[in-house]
Structure 1
Amino acid sequence: MAYKFITLETKDSVSVLTLNRPEANNALSRALSLELIDALTTADASEETSVLIITGAGKAFCAGVDLAELNDDSSVLTDEGLGTESPLSVAMRSCKKPIIGAVNGAAVTGGFELALGCDFLYASEHARFADTHVRVGILPGWGLSQKLSRLIGLGRAKELSLSGNFVSAQDALRLGLVNKVCPADELMTETLAIAKQIAESESAMVTAYKSLIDDGYDSPFGEALKLEDERSTRWAQEVDYSVMAERLAQLRSRASKQR
């Protein structure tokens, strides 16, 4: 697929997907969403990609669903468009490889949901987050009402969502929404650096560990421990132990540089 509203660049096992409608604050039109689905699916299936990054062009990360398009076509919020089981939501959830959000600016409502669909977030100092569903008059459909409370606590999530207030990058860091806040001109450098560190490990190992964390988090704690035991035992039977000495030597060398 030729892309008009996003760009996809892959280098050093990292694919960068950039929402490219800066004139509309990267709002999620149907066309952009279809391109993003294709790019996610393509990168996830590519042997050249181990880690994905999603960011936005211009001053915004993503302004959410394109309200101008929604005004003309309410089916944008149906399952066939941008609803609860929309192809974009499914593509984000089913991506086997890690997705890092590089939040360069405002992430609002559906854009906030897109950010929360990533495995973790780095943010520019100019990033801001807001859940304005209650002010727009629609309910979230991509999990924001459940994910946010699990990330920052029930009371804080209710305050943020029911008020529709914006949260700054530094407050998002304090709340645990983002892992790191960077100067604007260093955001992609920092995000690419952590992505490349993740990509240094065997891709199959990374995807297996991501899946274990995600599946366990969705389960009661006791069941999650059983799941870890089952998968760990199965994985141990398939490990190539002949490369373990070399990996341990590399690990010791890396550890000495991180002191």
Structure 2
Amino acid sequence: MSVLLSETESGVTTVTLNRPDQLNALSGELRAALVEEFVRLARDPDTQVIVLTGAGRAFSAGLDLKELGETGLPSEELGGIDVQDAICSVGKPIIGAINGFAVTGGFEIALMCDILVASEKAKFADTHTRIGVVPGWGLTQRLARLVGPSRAKELSFSAAYLDADTAASWGLVNRVLPAEELLPYCLQLAREIQLADRATLQAVQHLIDYTLDHGLEQGLVEESRLSKAHAANVSAASLEDRRGQVVDAGRKKS
């Protein structure tokens, strides 16, 4: 059985962590498969949006502690690229469909997604301090930005579990849905994202991430630079065509 499933339909690729009996724990095999798949997806012209989820009752319980008890902590990953590098450099929107437990390394992978949507069964926890491992996939940086430093410290210091509704009220996830509605909602959201102009979407995604990394002042400078460069390649005809598409989409929803 493959530890990672990937299916592309009409430009949307659903990637599923597939070790349900092990709560999708991130074994060396699964980490390598994630790296390979996201490197592939970065180059795949048929993939425009990615939905990342887990099989069974967990998104991912984190690194496979049973395996680590035999091998120790991983020092490097496939081809010198780790999971964070592969996922965060894919260059395409990632929707995290958090179907269940997202713990420690699994929590970190969830935080790498651009948009998080949770099942009512989802629970989040950071057990790094209990296990005695310093996070290395961005949790200390991304979590505090989403929920604020005080709440991030509460979660990371205590290793307490956070339920889906509280995660939504804290701003960690965008919404909470019944389990059976999670994937259909995320796939529909992906289809709506596909309606965006591709180059503009990539620029906006880059700019939002850029200001988080560099601050407001540098972010404004970068936005001005990209806006001017992009405008030079936008014709009046293309604007009129996009305007028509937006109007049509609005009429269908009204």
Alignment TM-score, normalising by the size of structure 2: 0.95
Unaligned 5+ residue runs, structure 1? none
Secondary structure at the counterpart of residue 218 of structure 1: helix
Q: Distance in 2 between matches of 1:141 and 1:200?
A: 35
Task: List 4+ stretches of structure 1 deviating above 6 A.
Answer: none
How far off is 1:4 after superposition? 1.8
Q: CA deviation at 1:182?
A: 0.8
Q: Secondary structure at the match of 2:225?
A: helix
**Residue in structure 1 matching 2:65, options 59, 64, 67:** 67
CA contact (8 A) 2:16 2:53 kept: yes
Which residue identity does 1:14 align to in structure 2?
V
Residues 241-250 or 14-23, more deviating: 241-250
**C-alpha distance in 2 between matches for 1:37 and 1:202:** 27
Measure how far apart 1:75 and its partner are.
Answer: 4.0
Identical positions, percent = 42
1:42 aligned residue: 40
Residue 210 of structure 1: aligned partner: 205
Contact kept in structure 2, 1:216 and 1:228, CA below 8 Å: no
Matched, 1:133 2:128: yes
Give the drift of 1:240: 3.4
Confirm or deny that 1:236 pairs with 2:234: no
Size of the alignment, in residue pairs? 253
Is residue 52 of structure 1 aligned with residue 47 of structure 2?
Answer: no
Cα RMSD between the aligned structures? 1.5
Given the two structures, how large is their TM-score scaled by the length of structure 1?
0.93
- 92, 96, 102: which is aligned to 1:101? 96
Deviations 1:189-210 (A, max 9, x none): 0000101100122323222221
How far apart in 1 are the matches of 2:118 and 2:209?
22
Residue 86 of structure 1 and its aligned partner are, at CA, apart by: 5.1
* Paired letter, 2:184: T
Does the 8 Å CA contact 1:15/1:51 hold for their aligned counterparts? yes
Q: How does 1:109-128 map to 2 (within 5 A)?
A: 109-128=104-123
Partner in structure 2 of residue 30 of structure 1: 28
Task: For residues 42-98 of structure 1, give each alpha carbon's deviation from its aligned partner in whole angstroms, at most 9, with x where no partner exists.
Answer: 12211111101110001100000000111111142x2347xxx85211111211001
1:140-174 CA deviation, whole Å, 9 max, x = no partner? Answer: 11111111111111111111110100000100000
